[in-house]
Amino acid sequence: MDKDINIKVKVWRQNGPKDKGYFETFPLENISQGSSFLEMLDILNENLINEGKEPVVFDHDCREGICGMCSLYINGHPHGPDEGITTCQLHMRRFNDGDTITVEPWRSAGFPIIKDLIVDRTAFDKIIQAGGYVSVNTGSAVDANAIPIPRDDAEMAMDAAACIGCGACVAACKNGSAMLFVSAKVSQLALLPQGRVEATRRAKSMVAKMDELGFGNCTNTGACEVECPKNISISNIARLNREFLKAKFQD
Amino acid sequence: MSWLIKSSIGRKFVQSISGLFLILFLLFHMSMNLVLIFNYETYNFLANEILGANWWAIIGTGVIALGFVVHVIYAIILTLQNMKARGNDRYASSSKTKTTWSSKNMFVLGLFILLFLFLHLYQMWYQMQFKELFMIEGARHDGAQLVEEVFSQLWVVIIYVIAFIALWFHLTHGFWSALHSVGWNNTVWMKRLKVLGNIISTAISLGFIIVAIAIYLGYSNLLG
């Protein structure tokens, strides 16, 4: 049964990108275990506003695990202790009465902190802009099944396309590497005939952009796939390696 | 070819290929060591006539040394870049993500193996090939007897065993990780490669350790 619990929330506060950050601990009483983690933070912020203090700033949008906006490094895990979910899908029943919950922003050189718990993830947009697309001549819509695609390929492409670009992989990685994200975005297109046309250019330019933006080198620790809210497999990373090396050897 | 330095996947490619090459060398080295258990004369024949200061052995040594140097230099570059990419701020709640210990400590393990390597090269290679090559007094042509002298000291055997346990951890991650980095992409085979990696690293480490302990306990040159 869900109970009401009393907890302490230890939150990272940082005024701006250049300011020095620090932890601030807030006690919260009578939080329903049925409420979501973000609702708990909403309650905290409402209290802070009522007390005339500045609320804790955090990212969120759809609150149903599909937009990739929420982040938060909770008690040593990106997106909290549960597997295969985003922070917005995390519920307070995962915590007990008297717990102190540590909430931190993603920490990585590629994701500089903007304020409190919000980090700048535009690096991912820049990587997508570098080649994460297919070029299609406009005109009347083409029949969806005009090109036959093997079922396994379609499934694998769909699995890769489940990536919501939240950045948990970078946050979990000891090397601050964005390989899981980039590999998913390369794989979802490389596996399909429509994406093959630009495959070599895409692999090269997306990896080049990733390196340029200061993400680290993957060492296959596998931390990313453990923490990924969409369970993206690191076999995508092997595929990206192959796509990239193939492209380079063709030059 | 500048992508082998400039690109992250290029750097990993070099690290993988050099690592796999060094695994082949370890397999050869381990096989030759096993000869010590059976016959010293055969070992000395192999060491002096097949290897020794012959031109092919010198080139071979150079290639292997190059493999080591490349592997070490790239390891340093990759580690420094990764520390920079990770940023200065650490997580207060630390990382609770479950990953294998060896995968997160490849550099530390490698560093330990490298330190051991200096000792090992001084004790063995310097006395045999190097001294002969540069006409330094006291070059040893009785390699097997030299090995026996070295391994009669307990502290050498202990360091030796610890180094190869470190190597075991290094290889259990290194083998499959290298193949992953060169683009071996297969969900079925990846599991098999991990098992194969465990078998190879166990065979290598065990092979080396058995010879050292056997010599220390006097169970060598059995057919001599």
Provide the CATH number for the domain around residue B33. Answer: 1.20.1300.10
| pLDDT value of position A184 | 97
Asked if residue B224 is part of any domain, the answer here is no
For residues B36-55, give the mean pLDDT.
89
Percent of chain A with pLDDT over 90: 93
> Which chain A residues are within 8 Å of B183, Cβ to Cβ?
238-239, 241-246
ipTM: 0.91
Q: d(Cα B198, Cα A153) in Å, to the nearest integer?
A: 30
Q: How many CB pairs under 8 A join A and B?
A: 148
Q: Using one digit for the tens of pLDDT, what is the confidence trace for A146-182?
A: 889 999 999 999 999 999 999 999 999 999 999 999 9
Which residues of chain B lie closer than 8 angstroms to A175, CB-CB? Answer: 82, 85-86
Give the chain B residue nearest A110 (alpha carbons): B85
- My answer on whether A139 and A241 are in the same domain is yes
Provide mean pLDDT across the span B195-219. Answer: 96
Tokens linked to A100: 């102190």
Q: Is A241 helix (H, G, I), strand (E, B) or coil?
A: helix
**For residue A109, what is the DSSP state?**
T
DSSP readout, chain B? -THHHHSHHHHHHHHHHHHHHHHHHHHHHHHHHHHHHH-HHHHHHIIIIIITT-HHHHHHHHHHHHHHHHHHHHHHHHHHHHHHHH-SPPPTT-------HHHH-HHHHHHHHHHHHHHHIIIIIIIIIIHHHTT-TT--S-HHHHHHHHHTSHHHHHHHHHHHHHHHHHHHHHHHHHHHHTT---HHHHHHHHHHHHHHHHHHHHHHHHHHHHHHHT---TT-
Q: Return the SS3 of A14.
A: coil
> What is the C-alpha to C-alpha distance for residues A100 and A110, in angstroms, rounded to an integer?
29
CATH number of the domain bearing residue A236: 1.10.1060.10
pLDDT range class, residue A215, cuts 50, 70, 90 = very high
Q: Which residues of A touch B19 (CB under 8 A)?
A: none
- Which residues does B contribute to its contact with A (CB < 8 Å)? 3, 6-13, 78, 81-82, 84-87, 89-100, 103-104, 106, 173, 176-177, 180-187, 190
Distance (Å, rounded) from C-alpha A6 to C-alpha A19?
31
Is 80 exceeded by the pLDDT of residue A103? Answer: yes
Q: Is the same domain home to A126 and A226?
A: yes
Q: What total number of domains does chain B contain?
A: 1
Inter-chain CB proximity B184 and A221 less than 8 Å: no
**Token pair recorded at residue B36:** 């010590």
**Residue of chain B whose alpha carbon sits nearest to that of A79:** B97
In a domain, B129, yes or no: yes
Whether residues A153 and A197 share a domain: the answer is: yes
The band of B139, judged by pLDDT with boundaries at 50, 70 and 90, is confident
Cβ separation of A223 and B106 shorter than 8 Å? Answer: no
Nearest chain B alpha carbon to A22 = B92
Give the up-direction half-sphere exposure of residue A168: CA atoms within 13 A in the CB hemisphere.
34
Nearest Cβ partner for A174 among B9, B89, B104: B104
Selected residue of B96, B173, B184, B185 to mutate for chain A interface (largest A Cβ count, 10 A): B185
Considering the domain architecture, whether residues A234 and A160 belong to the same structural domain is answered as yes
Q: What is the pLDDT of residue A110?
A: 94
Provide the pLDDT confidence category of residue A7 given band limits of 50, 70 and 90: very high
* Angle (CA) A186 A105 A85, round 5°: 55
Do A131 and A57 share a structural domain? no
Looking at the structure of chain A, the number of domains it has is 2
Nearest to B13 by CA among A199, A233, A247, A191: A247
CB contact under 8 A, A176 and B82: yes
Q: What is the largest CA-CA distance in chain B?
A: 61
Same structural domain for residues A74 and A156?
Answer: no
Is the residue at A148 inside a domain? yes
Tell whether B223 is covered by a domain: no
How far apart are the C-alpha atoms of B166 and B159, rounded to whole Å?
A: 11
Q: Which of A73-77, B142-146, B182-186 is the most confident on average?
A: A73-77
Instruction: Give the separation between CA A65 and CA A220, rounded to whole angstroms.
Output: 26
Please tell me whether residues A93 and A140 are part of one structural domain: no
Instruction: Please check the confidence at residue B84 and state whether its pLDDT lies above 80.
Output: yes
Residue-wise pLDDT tens digits, A193-206: 999 999 999 999 99
The residue range of the domain holding B142 is 3-217
Kindly tell me if the per-residue pLDDT of B224 is higher than 80. Answer: no
Q: What per-residue confidence (pLDDT) applies to B28?
A: 95
CATH number of the domain enclosing A22: 3.10.20.30
Using a CB-CB distance cutoff of 8 angstroms, which residues of chain A are in contact with residue B91?
73, 76, 104, 107
Q: What is the reported pLDDT for A14? A: 96
For residue A178, list chain B residues with Cβ-Cβ distance below 8 A: none
Q: Are A86 and A166 in contact (CB under 8 A)?
A: yes
Residue A147, class by beta-carbon neighbours within 10 Å (0-12 exposed, 13-18 middle, 19+ buried)? exposed
Helix (H, G, I), strand (E, B), or coil: what is residue A114?
strand
Domain co-membership, A89 together with A204:
no
Residues of B with CB below 8 A from A243's CB? Answer: 183
Distance (Å) from the alpha carbon of A140 to chain B's nearest alpha carbon: 37
The C-alpha atoms of residue B78 and residue B75 are separated, in whole angstroms, by: 5
Q: A230 and A126 in one domain?
A: yes
Kindly list the residues from chain B whose CB atom is less than 8 angstroms away from the CB atom of residue A109: 84-87
Domain that holds residue A87: 4-104
A57 neighbors A71 (Cβ within 8 angstroms) = no
Contact B103 A73 (CB under 8 A): no
pLDDT (0 to 100) of residue B205: 97
pLDDT at B95: 83
- Report whether pLDDT(A99) > 80: yes
pLDDT for B90: 86
* Contact assessment for residue B201 and residue B171, using Cβ atoms and an 8 Å cutoff: yes
Bridge partners of residue A119, in order along the sequence: A113
